[in-house]
Amino acid sequence: MQRRVRNPGRDGVAATASSALDCALWDPRAKRLGLSLVTAPGQVRDSMQPVARAGASPSGTPR
């Protein structure tokens, strides 16, 4: 979903709708499995490596 709304509305209504739909789909699954919404997708990390990016986006439009 995120790739489909990347350029037309990444920071706007499309992104908000995509996020709401994503949560709406994960919430019942997490409840059914007896897990928190944070751990239900299965991607739990103890730490993250910081990353910096600069330049044009993949679509060629500068940011």
Domain range enclosing 21:
1-39
In a domain, 19, yes or no: yes
First-to-final CA distance of the chain = 21
In a domain, 44, yes or no: no
Angle at 16 between CA 14 and CA 20, to 5 degrees: 115
In a domain, 55, yes or no: no
| C-alpha to C-alpha distance for 27 and 40, rounded to whole angstroms | 9
The one-digit pLDDT tens for each residue of the chain (63 residues) are: 666 665 555 567 777 887 888 888 888 989 999 988 888 877 767 787 887 777 666 665 555
pTM: 0.42
In a domain, 59, yes or no: no
Question: How many domains would you assign to the chain?
Answer: 1
In a domain, 58, yes or no: no
In a domain, 35, yes or no: yes
In sequence order, the β-bridge partners of residue 62 are 56
CB 26 within 8 A of CB 41: yes
In a domain, 16, yes or no: yes
